[in-house]
Amino acid sequence: MVNKLKTVILAVIVAVSVSPAIALAELATVTDAKVDEAIATFKKEVNGADVFLNQAAGYLVFPRVIKLGIGIGGETGEGALRIGGVTDGYYRTSSGSIGFQLGAQAKSIVIAFMTPESLKKFRDSDGWKIGIDGSVAFIDLGAGKTIDSHNIKDPVVGFIFGSAGLMYNLTLEGSKIHRQEDKSK
């Protein structure tokens, strides 16, 4: 009887340990697919985006960041860091705000680390707060414009876009970005 109980307990422990790993792997697949879609949209909306991303040491993509607010607001989204076009890790962005606000908005964000140093600083951080741990120069381009990577001198460059193309006058100041547990293992 004791051996059967040990076997049942061991089976439960294995099942509980394996199930989250399988679920996380599925989440990684879903996140990667959404990141791929966001990158394709970014490349379609902005001429030269593919060359620009290839020149970056790495880039962080949040395919869907949702902002909700009724007086007090918050936004959150999940994404992936790509280095050499391959997912290096999964991240979450989040922020809160107080003030006049009402409604909801969805946006996509691409943050490109243009130097190996800026990428290393981001990867070595334990939570990266925009405006405190690093600044992001946001680029406003109209639809059909071309990124001129020779004129971009900032080490970290960001783009915010929605279903209708690049968005204007938006900021991520105060947003916190932190690494999530590895979804792929």
Q: Is residue 1 part of a domain?
A: no
Question: Distance between CA 155 and CA 142 in Å, rounded?
Answer: 22
Provide the token pair at 130.
């925009």
Q: How confident is the model at residue 11 (pLDDT cuts 50, 70, 90)?
A: very low
Domain that holds residue 170: 37-179
Q: Is residue 144 part of a domain?
A: yes
Per-residue pLDDT reduced to its tens digit, 108-162? 889 999 999 999 999 998 877 665 555 676 666 554 556 665 557 788 888 888 7
Q: What is the pLDDT of residue 154?
A: 82
Q: Is residue 7 part of a domain?
A: no
Higher pLDDT, 6 or 32: 32
Q: What is the pLDDT of residue 166?
A: 45
Question: How does DSSP assign 113-170, residue by residue?
Answer: E-SHHHHHHHHH-SSEEBTTTB--EEPP--TT-B--TTT---SEEEEEEETTEE-SS-
Name the one residue in this structure whose structure tokens are 């204007």. Answer: 168
Q: Is residue 19 part of a domain?
A: no
Q: Is residue 21 part of a domain?
A: no
Q: Is residue 184 part of a domain?
A: no
State how many domains the chain has. Answer: 1
Q: Is residue 5 part of a domain?
A: no
Q: Is residue 120 part of a domain?
A: yes
Per-residue pLDDT reduced to its tens digit, 53-92? 999 999 999 999 987 778 787 888 999 999 999 999 999 9
Ramachandran angles phi, psi of 114, nearest 5°: -85, -15
